[in-house]
């Protein structure tokens, strides 16, 4: 267990050794969260939630937990994230176990945030980006953080039409916005 402090509130975070960043909050995730401004009414998707750091920060920043969906392919991650949200007094979020966005309800997210597995091939990241685009509402934003730049930059531009990149502590934080209903690289019929 470790703690993080958000908006003068100390959040207790339980984790498991088999989950991503088991000893402390991941620096890349925290760097990404520094760039996100949450609105109280935002509908937030924590994609690849792990132990739930993104959702804890969103809720501590004023997002109604009922507007937060957490998903991960690992049932243990989803279980731990649920415990963390409950322990910190954030009840009502939706928890989903599944591959990418397969079982995620809704398609009108204001924010999708992810620290995808980037030490593997790009199959997971490709699904997160393409399927995430389809789940954002017009004007919705996607944030991702990785240690790799070029592939993500090119893929996000191909899908969204543009991307803002911030580098911090060796991490690249990508921010993009959905501006139309079709991928940027596809022509409307």
Question: How high is the pLDDT of residue 185?
Answer: 76
Q: Is residue 50 situated within a structural domain?
A: yes
Q: Which domain holds residue 138?
A: 2-177
Asked if the model's pLDDT at residue 60 lies above 90, the reply is yes
- Return the DSSP state at 82: H
CA 83, CA 165: separation in Å to the nearest integer?
Answer: 33
Show the tokens assigned to 102: 């397969």
Q: Is residue 189 situated within a structural domain?
A: no
Question: How high is the pLDDT of residue 95?
Answer: 98
Q: What is the pLDDT of residues 68-84, one digit of tens each?
A: 999 999 999 999 999 99
Q: Is residue 184 situated within a structural domain?
A: no
Q: What is the mean pLDDT of residues 51-61?
A: 97
Q: Is residue 186 situated within a structural domain?
A: no
CA 186, CA 18: separation in Å to the nearest integer?
Answer: 40
Q: Is residue 18 situated within a structural domain?
A: yes
Q: Is residue 187 situated within a structural domain?
A: no
Query: Which residues have CB under 8 Å from 7's CB, separation 6+?
Result: 60, 61
Q: What is the pLDDT of residues 138-180, one digit of tens each?
A: 999 999 999 999 999 999 999 999 999 999 999 999 999 999 9
Question: How high is the pLDDT of residue 86?
Answer: 98
Question: How high is the pLDDT of residue 121?
Answer: 79
What's the predicted TM-score (pTM) here? 0.94
CA 11, CA 14: separation in Å to the nearest integer?
Answer: 10
**pLDDT-based confidence at 20, cuts 50/70/90?**
confident
Q: Is residue 167 situated within a structural domain?
A: yes
CA 56, CA 33: separation in Å to the nearest integer?
Answer: 11
**Number of domains forming the structure of the chain:** 1
Question: How high is the pLDDT of residue 180?
Answer: 95
Question: What's 75's domain CATH number?
Answer: 3.40.50.150
At residue 40, φ and ψ (nearest 5 deg) are -55, -35
Residues of the chain with pLDDT > 90, as a percent, come to 86
**pLDDT-based confidence at 119, cuts 50/70/90?**
low
Q: Is residue 60 situated within a structural domain?
A: yes
Average pLDDT of the chain, as a whole number: 94
């Amino acid at each position: 267990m470790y703690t993080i402090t958000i908006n003068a509130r100390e959040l207790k975070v339980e984790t498991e050794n088999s989950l991503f960043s088991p000893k402390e909050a991941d620096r890349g995730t925290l760097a990404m969260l520094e760039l996100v401004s949450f609105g109280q009414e935002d509908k937030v998707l924590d994609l690849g939630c792990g132990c739930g750091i993104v959702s804890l920060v969103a809720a501590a920043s004023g997002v109604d937990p009922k507007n937060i969906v957490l998903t991960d392919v690992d049932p243990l991650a989803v279980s731990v994230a649920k415990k963390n949200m409950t322990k910190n007094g954030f009840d009502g979020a939706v928890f989903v176990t599944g591959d990418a966005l397969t079982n995620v309800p809704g398609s009108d997210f204001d924010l999708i945030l992810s620290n995808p597995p980037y030490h593997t091939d790009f199959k997971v990241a490709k699904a997160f980006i393409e399927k995430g685009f389809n789940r954002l509402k017009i004007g919705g934003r996607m944030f991702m953080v990785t240690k790799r730049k070029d592939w993500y930059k090119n893929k996000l531009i191909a899908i969204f039409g543009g991307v803002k990149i911030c580098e911090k502590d060796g991490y690249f934080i990508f921010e993009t916005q959905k501006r139309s209903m079709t991928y940027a690289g596809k022509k409307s019929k």
